Amino acid sequence: MALRVNPATVARAYRHLVEAGILSVRRGEGTFVPEGLSSEAVATIRRDELARAATEYARTAAELGVALGEAEETLRQVWNGERKHD
């Protein structure tokens, strides 16, 4: 299965990860996960990123006029692989 991802989306994801402290960029060397990142820090970053994505999803659903129940059902279907988007 091939996934198509917009390069701008990837760049934005990297920027979020750098801002969150999950990745560090070394000019001329590449992008790395910093040593010594605690599991607590990772958990906090994960919760923050999940909340950011949930906020974006909720905003999109609201702009489309979708009720909370329908948005939850769509998320459940996608989560379970019952619904895909090309």
Instruction: Give pTM, 2 decimals.
Output: 0.58
Residue 86: predicted pLDDT: 58
Q: Profile the chain (86 residues) by mean pLDDT over runs of 10 residues.
A: 75 85 86 81 83 92 96 93 78
The DSSP annotation for 19-75 comes to HTTS-EEETTTEEEPPTT--HHHHHHHHHHHHHHHHHHHHHHHHHTT--HHHHHHHH
